[in-house]
Structure 1
Amino acid sequence: MAVALSISESRIKYASQLIVSALLFFTAAKVGYSFALYRDVVSLIWPPAGIALALVLVYGYRILPGIAVGSIILSIANGSSFIYATGSLLSQIAEPALGAFLLSKFGFDKKISKITDIFKLILLGAVTAPLLIALLETFTICISTQIHFGSCLNIYFGSFMGNAMGIIVMAPFMLAWAGTKYKDYKLKEYIEFLVMASGLVVITLIVYGNYFIAQDSRPLAYLVFPFLIWASLRFEVKGASTAIFLISVIAAIGTVKGFGPFSDSSVYHGLLYLYVFLAATSITALILGTTSKIKNSAQISLKETQSQLEKRVKERTEKLEGMNYQKDRLFSIISHDLRSPFQSLLGFSDFIVDDFDSLSKDEIKRYLGHIRDSARNVYSLIENLLHWSRIQSGKLEFNPIEVELGSEIEEVVKKMLPLYEKKNIRIINGINSQIFFYADPYMLDILINNLLDNAIKFSHKGSDIEIKLDRDADYLILKIIDYGIGMSTEEIQKLFKIEIPLKKRGTADERGTGLGLLICKEIMNKHKGKIIIESEPGKGTTATVLFPI
């Protein structure tokens, strides 16, 4: 149903495009005939040529049926003969099709973003295509009207000039504004554009709409140049093409009516002079507008590059600061946390060596127990430091394979038996069935070891630690729950931040550096998973890890 509706909407949109293109062509043609010089069929300014070329460049060859309909309606409205109507239809379709083909073949950008695009539009669209199609149009006119062969050359020249001028005036104007949205400009830019356009219209009306300005006042035609330059520099190709359009319409109407600096005893010569002036003015303005567009685009690109460089420098600076924090934190661990267990080792060793003969077996056993605990702390700390160093240097490779979670947890629980038996803690493993998933077994061992070690460290003697497993559509959810001393909200916020040390003693005065949880976080990042810590003071902590399925 949705597909059918989409197809229907597409057809309606296409039909509306054809209707609009037909109306545009017909209306522009009626305007163009007001400049007709020979039997109302040859015009020195033929706007439909530019409109048709722009439509084909924007919408593709599929818009040609709309142009054809506009040409047929025009022929019917003018009461043209069948021969002339047929030839006119062929030429009106062939010219934009040929022009668009040549332009696309030579890499023309319809956004007119380069100066070469201006020359391509003029040489291929406004010269080559009209020169060729004018032959067909001239042949049609000469055959259908049965005029003298000697007049055909004038008709050919007039047909070519009219189509070329229509393309130069209309095609850039339509291409420049195609796809423009209201939000592309700010309010003050719209106001400036209106002021510029209004000033240009007033000056052009004064120059080309006044009986007192005749052919001996042709320098006055250049009064439009300040506004033309303003439009080109401030509004790029859009401004230049709009200014050309306004000047061309007003100047052509004024010249036909005998007004302005190009008025002459012959309308033909007047329009011919105007044609040359407008052609030179249009090319100059379009080049200036394109140059302004290139300059503005380069400035925007430069600002974006500068912004990206500043962002990159900021990111690198933050990264370096983070590395400095990590370095300072590691030095702090090495200088303080690693030294303390060694002091205990040395202290209790000295007691045993110095007073061995006077110590009882129970005292020696107690001192050896302290030495064992200190050695275990040193080993755990060094192991975590090595893991952290390998992760940060990228030497700890991520190699996921299919593992069975239950057996992995059982292995870690067995290794930690001395720790939790010493505190008379019971570990309840709630994973009964075999659960297979993809993980790095070495990293998984480090993860479970650190989480269980924390749970044992902060659990009270004689308490329980639960291991639970759940799953949803996206994750395998492992929970390790203890009922120990817990943490406050402020303490939880300090977790996973190496620059904020969180040192907390266990229930048996065990030392903690917070490095283990940082390693767990890095491991879960490698697995594209998550780790969540929930805790309340005096009620315990739940560590939840989510492995993507």
Structure 2
Amino acid sequence: MIRTEEARRRAAYVAQILGVAGAYYLSAHLGLMRQVVVDGAVVTPLWPSTGIALAALLCLGVRVWPGIALGALLAVLETGGAFTVSSLAIMFGNTVAPLASYALLRRVGFRSELVRLRDGVCLVFLGAFAGMLISAAIGSFTLLLDGKVPPGRFWLVWSSWWAGDAMGVLVVTPVLLVLRGVRWPRPSDRWLEASVLAVVVAVSSLLATRSSLSMIYLVFPVIIWAALRFELPGSAPCALVVSVLAVMAGTDGVGPFAGHSLMEIMANLSLLNGSVALTALLLGAVVAEHKNIRRETEYAVEELEALVERLAPLSGPAATRYDDRERRHGPLDGGPHPDRR
């Protein structure tokens, strides 16, 4: 029986490792479909694998790190095509970065439910901006030493690498954390409004990213609508849709990205995706925190009302009759009368 239980645990652990590796590799393959080559260095405006890696660590624990390493190695081999020291170094950086983000988030008491503003802020600045500095630095320096990136283009590669990894955390990780606790909607839920929101998000995102009229900020009222009405479960998927469509338009060089250089396109994509993700994440967390505070306040008021109702008979007519009987017959509990010495 013990051996059978251990075998099941090992099988479950192996399945988790392979599942994380497969998800990392598939998401990397999707990200590479919109890759940008800078003097031999392959970068992406949005690298969803970092978001999957951090979400896997937050949901399954640090023990699934071999799956991240295996998925990162497969992704690096697909871009480089050879098993070299450089590929191992890049794999190491892509594995250590989400581990560092996970350690930073755990140190500050991060909650994966994202129902507090501080959780959203920590995910942005510690999980995305700080942790992904490691993968960008290791990857860029590796390509520089390997001769694939000239010194004059190093900062372009580094900033593009860092922005792509950070955007993966900001856009993908909240969606996965929300899906973890999602429930099937009830018939009484706002189905009609949710359907209208989905259509509006798709239409406004296409207009903002494909139109030549530079209507890129058309998406922000929609993101605010989603956050105010549906909190993070509504705003996080909307941010993902906007970011994906923006990346597709930017790499195609259409709409507001037409006629710009590669550096300008990467900068605009990073600013847009970052602003959309920050708005969706932080505003959704603020709304959720305020609702939790109101719910806790209502619960405290109900408890106070129940306590007052239990104590009310002691201050009404029953309490007066109790005092009269005590003066005539002495304390009802058998103790000494206060007037007797």
Instruction: Give the TM bin, normalised by the shorter chain.
Output: 0.7 to 0.9
Corresponding residue of 2:305: 310
Give TM-score, length-normalised by structure 2: 0.85
Q: 1:120 aligns to what SS in structure 2?
A: helix
| Alpha carbons of structure 1 residues 56 and 190: separation in structure 2 relative to 1, 3 Å | farther
Q: Are residue 260 (structure 1) and residue 255 (structure 2) matched?
A: yes
Q: Are residue 251 (structure 1) and residue 246 (structure 2) matched?
A: yes
Corresponding residue of 1:423: none
Offset of 1:8 from its aligned partner? 4.0
Corresponding residue of 1:35: 34
| Alpha carbons of structure 1 residues 192 and 19: separation in structure 2 relative to 1, 3 Å | farther
Corresponding residue of 1:124: 126
Greater strand fraction, Structure 1 or Structure 2 = 1
| Alpha carbons of structure 1 residues 194 and 148: separation in structure 2 relative to 1, 3 Å | same
Q: Are residue 171 (structure 1) and residue 173 (structure 2) matched?
A: yes
Q: Are residue 152 (structure 1) and residue 188 (structure 2) matched?
A: no
Corresponding residue of 2:69: 68
> What is the distance in 2 between the residues matched to 1:271 and 1:135?
18
Corresponding residue of 1:21: 20
Offset of 1:312 from its aligned partner? 1.8
Aligned partners of 1:22 and 1:67 also within 8 Å: yes
Corresponding residue of 1:276: 271
- What whole-Å deviation, never above 9, does each CA across 1:158-209 have from its counterpart, x for those lacking one? 21121122222122222233233336x664235533331232012212332x
Corresponding residue of 2:284: 289
Offset of 1:300 from its aligned partner? 0.9
What amino acid is aligned across from residue 303 of structure 1 in structure 2?
E
> What is the distance in 1 between the residues matched to 2:51 and 2:278?
15
Q: 2:36 aligns to what SS in structure 1?
A: strand
Aligned 1:145-544 pairs, distance under 5 A = 145-182=147-184, 187-208=188-209, 210=210, 213-214=211-212, 217-218=213-214, 220-317=215-312, 327=322, 389-390=333-334
| Alpha carbons of structure 1 residues 321 and 14: separation in structure 2 relative to 1, 3 Å | farther
Which has the higher relative contact order, 1 or 2, with Cα contacts under 8 A spaced 6 or more apart? 2
Offset of 1:33 from its aligned partner? 1.3
Corresponding residue of 2:339: none
Offset of 1:240 from its aligned partner? 2.1
> What is the distance in 1 between the residues matched to 2:122 and 2:225?
25
Corresponding residue of 1:495: none
What amino acid is aligned across from residue 11 of structure 1 in structure 2?
R
Q: How many residues align?
A: 332
After TM superposition, the structure 1 stretch with the greater mean CA deviation from structure 2, 7-16 or 198-207, is 7-16
What amino acid is aligned across from residue 107 of structure 2 in structure 1?
K
Q: Are residue 52 (structure 1) and residue 53 (structure 2) matched?
A: yes
> What is the distance in 2 between the residues matched to 1:94 and 1:21?
15
Aligned partners of 2:46 and 2:165 also within 8 Å: yes
Aligned partners of 2:96 and 2:134 also within 8 Å: no
Aligned partners of 1:232 and 1:289 also within 8 Å: yes
Greater helix fraction, Structure 1 or Structure 2 = 2
> What is the distance in 2 between the residues matched to 1:111 and 1:129?
20
2:103 is matched with which residue: 92, 95, 101? Answer: 101
Offset of 1:306 from its aligned partner? 1.8
- What whole-Å deviation, never above 9, does each CA across 1:203-257 have from its counterpart, x for those lacking one? 212332x4xx22xx22x11222222111111122222222211110112112222
Q: 1:91 aligns to what SS in structure 2?
A: helix
| Alpha carbons of structure 1 residues 238 and 80: separation in structure 2 relative to 1, 3 Å | farther
How large is the Cα RMSD of the aligned pairs?
3.1
What amino acid is aligned across from residue 131 of structure 1 in structure 2?
L
Corresponding residue of 1:427: none
> What is the distance in 2 between the residues matched to 1:106 and 1:63?
21
Aligned partners of 1:262 and 1:271 also within 8 Å: no
- What whole-Å deviation, never above 9, does each CA across 1:296-344 have from its counterpart, x for those lacking one? 111111211122122222333367789669949x96xxx9xxxxxxxxx
Q: 1:41 aligns to what SS in structure 2?
A: strand
Residue identity (%): 25
Aligned partners of 2:25 and 2:75 also within 8 Å: yes
Offset of 1:43 from its aligned partner? 1.6
Aligned partners of 1:256 and 1:263 also within 8 Å: no
Q: 2:46 aligns to what SS in structure 1?
A: coil
> What is the distance in 1 between the residues matched to 2:318 and 2:26?
70
| Alpha carbons of structure 1 residues 275 and 309: separation in structure 2 relative to 1, 3 Å | same
- What whole-Å deviation, never above 9, does each CA across 1:5-52 have from its counterpart, x for those lacking one? 544443343333222211221111112112322246222221111221
Gaps of 5+ in 2: 336-341
> What is the distance in 1 between the residues matched to 2:302 and 2:3?
46
- What whole-Å deviation, never above 9, does each CA across 1:61-119 have from its counterpart, x for those lacking one? 11111111212332344423422321121011100011111222233332223323333
What amino acid is aligned across from residue 43 of structure 2 in structure 1?
V
What amino acid is aligned across from residue 263 of structure 1 in structure 2?
A
| Alpha carbons of structure 1 residues 307 and 119: separation in structure 2 relative to 1, 3 Å | same
Give TM-score, length-normalised by structure 1: 0.55
Aligned partners of 2:27 and 2:49 also within 8 Å: yes
What amino acid is aligned across from residue 36 of structure 1 in structure 2?
Q
> What is the distance in 2 between the residues matched to 1:253 and 1:204?
11
- What whole-Å deviation, never above 9, does each CA across 1:257-285 have from its counterpart, x for those lacking one? 23332333435422321221221232233
Corresponding residue of 1:490: none
> What is the distance in 1 between the residues matched to 2:306 and 2:18?
50
> What is the distance in 2 between the residues matched to 1:189 and 1:63?
37
